[in-house]
Amino acid sequence: MKKTIKLCLGCLYIFMSAVVWAKPMHGIAIMGEPNLKKDFSHFSYVNPKAPKGGTLKLASYTGFDSLNPFIITGISPAGISLTHDSLMKANADEPFTLYGLIAETIDVSSDKTKVTFSLNPKATFNDGSKISSEDVAFSFEMLKKYGAPLYRTYYQNIKRVEAPDAQTIIFHIDSDKKNRELPLVLGQLPVLSKKYWENKNFAQTTLEVPVSSGPYMIESFEPNRSITYKLNPNYWAKDLNVNKGFYNFERIKYDTYRDTTVAVEALKSGLIDWRFENEAKKWVQGREWDLVKSGKIKMEEFHHQLPSGMQGFVFNLRRPLFQDRRVREALSLVLDFDWINDKLFYDAYTRLTSFFDNSDFKASGLPKKAEEKLLQPYLNVLPDDILTRPLQTKKLQPREALQQALTLLKDAGWIVQKGILQKDGQPFAFEILVDAAAAPTWERVILPYIGQLKKLGIQASIKTLDSLAYKTKLDKFDYDMIVAVWGQSLSPGNEQADYWGSVAADTEGSYNYSGLKNPAVDALIEKIITVENRADLVNATRALDRVLLAEHIVVPHWAAMTQKCLTWHTLDHPSYTPLSGLDILTWWKK
């Protein structure tokens, strides 16, 4: 009998252990434990003794007409995130780990159905009012109801929110949805002032400066021209370990420039201090500047370990013209990257062959057994050769590429008559939509591509719109083809649903620019979100990469594996670059 009692007590203890809440933690990692202990002094990539003061002058390339960055209506100014803090802050030297900011601790129940944040009692908004759990709950509800589609995608599995006291906020998660990222996504929740916003229309654009929670406040602005942020002298979190070495400039000012060529001249004139250079031509030309040779302007490269993401010409699959996979593959084949890289880019770039290049999430060759197992249930909606066609095969010469493209187009019912590619009497014609601010950069790339398309009998053209009109078209998916970039992190997760998911394809303002709808993609995204270990995450992401490549939703472009900067000698930065690359907010004025 005693043995039986002991056995029952043991079972009870095991059961209770399975449901008790984990202890409150100072940080949370996507997998495993945070690298830094509770008493860490600062992040590894900052200078905690960096001098404070001065103004950092930067360039923006789009105007703005709203100070609300959380909705799809209007365009918000560059740098507006400086005015908003979130519950927790990410360490750029870990794949995905957050540490306490507005929230002092996070407590995730063992069954992962509850996430509790305890707020720092010192946390205040920039008007001096206390940040409470009611503000956090209000922020969540506003963003979920009125915010950009990304918020609704992220928060869809939250059943309810409660604020039992002023310092405690509890999020209840749907028990049927195992979302490993959700506690961290909640940690990234920007905190808004309920008192300020509750009697205002959050869904509308505004040029009224709001009460905010971040280290900087808006000091002055002129819509579409400039905005200046001033460091909040009473910022409550300036001495927290997660903020040590950050926010070293007294002011940060953004001026709007028509295009990058004008911005470069502004840099040379001292009107801006720092420029992230992503144009090979301008980088090469910079070496000949007298200002560079004299040391007044520095050229620096920073290495990072981020996946390259994807940049390319994006097909809008909502258009009948691009709904045939063979058509999309044909148009992908004819981009002559080698010519562009040689003649325009000084051989500075590498052609993208994956949506996750520069990482172990990249699919290659034939699928491994783990990938194949994930793909097997969806073979009926995938290309017939998804399991037998190796990726990253040898490059084709331009003539071979054109021949293969013509074959694919012919198989899809398109034929060339009198030099014009047509089907059922209709010519193959489309527009490439470009933001006017980026037009000088992209036209010299698009025009050679149009020339290659013309060899197939395709009539392509460029259409340029001002930034606001372009954004409106983008949000409504009203275009044939655009140039787009999807960034990727060290830990792919919920954002993939907004990039490629079927729901996002019908949600205005989402990042599913292609309009892709594929049950295999949806299932793989769900797998990525719910996996519990790194190996399964890698396999699921590789399978997703393979499917996205097979769908040919984009004509892949190129990437540089370093971050290149042109900076005035009056700026300095930490010697160590974290996994995620440089962060200008850790720099300082000499």
Ramachandran category for residue 470: left, alpha or beta (phi over 0 → left; psi -120 to 50 → alpha): alpha
Supply the pLDDT for residue 525.
97
DSSP secondary structure string for all residues of 165-177: ETTEEEEEE-TT-
User: Partners of 228 in the beta sheet?
Assistant: 220, 253
Q: Does domain 20-28+50-197 have CATH number 3.40.190.10?
A: yes
* CATH architecture, range 310-559: Roll (3.10)
Which one, of 118, 245, 109, lies nearest residue 183 by Cα?
A: 109
Pairing between β-strand 88-90 and β-strand 55-60 as defined by DSSP bridges: unpaired
**Residue 251 contacts by C-beta under 8 Å, 6 or more apart in sequence?**
54, 55, 56, 219, 228, 229, 230, 231
Number of Cβ within 10 Å of residue 101's Cβ equals: 23
Residues 143 and 203: their CA atoms lie apart, in Å, by 9
CB of 108 closer than 8 Å to CB of 197: no
Supply the pLDDT for residue 3.
37
Supply the pLDDT for residue 13.
32
- Rounded to two decimals, the pTM is 0.88
Supply the pLDDT for residue 392.
79
Residues 514 and 499: their CA atoms lie apart, in Å, by 9
User: Partners of 29 in the beta sheet?
Assistant: 97
Q: What are phi and psi of 336, to 5 degrees?
A: -90, 80
Residues 494 and 510: their CA atoms lie apart, in Å, by 13
Supply the pLDDT for residue 22.
60
Domains 20-28+50-197 and 216-305+562-589 share a fold: yes
Q: Which amino acid is at 31?
A: M
Residues 438 and 464: their CA atoms lie apart, in Å, by 9
271, with CB counted inside 10 A (0-12, 13-18, 19+), is middle
Residues 449 and 108: their CA atoms lie apart, in Å, by 51
- H/E segment holding residue 146: helix 133-146
DSSP secondary structure string for all residues of 426-491: EE-EEEEEEEGGGHHHHHHHHHHHHHHHHTTT-EEEEEEE-HHHHHHHHHTT--SEEEEEE---SS
Which one, of 405, 408, 370, 428, lies nearest residue 546 by Cα?
A: 370
164, with CB counted inside 10 A (0-12, 13-18, 19+), is exposed
The residue extents of the domains of the chain are 20-28+50-197, 216-305+562-589, 310-559
In eight-state DSSP terms, residue 27 is E
**Residue 406 contacts by C-beta under 8 Å, 6 or more apart in sequence?**
330, 416, 456
CA angle 58, 62, 65 (to 5 degrees): 110
550-574 burial string, b = 16+ CB within 10 Å, else e? Answer: bbbbbbbbbbbeebbbbbbeebbbb
In eight-state DSSP terms, residue 244 is T
- 259-302 pLDDT, tens digit per residue, is 889 999 999 999 999 999 988 889 999 999 999 999 999 999 99
Chunked mean pLDDT (size 10), the chain, 590 residues: 36 33 85 94 98 97 95 96 98 96 96 95 98 98 95 92 97 85 96 97 96 98 97 97 98 94 95 94 94 97 91 98 98 96 92 95 96 97 95 87 97 96 97 93 95 98 94 97 95 96 96 98 96 94 98 96 94 96 96
- Which CATH code fits 216-305+562-589? 3.40.190.10
Span between the terminal Cα atoms of the chain, in Å: 77
Supply the pLDDT for residue 8.
39
Rounded to a whole number, what is the largest CA-CA distance in the chain?
95
H-state helical runs in 200-272: 260-268
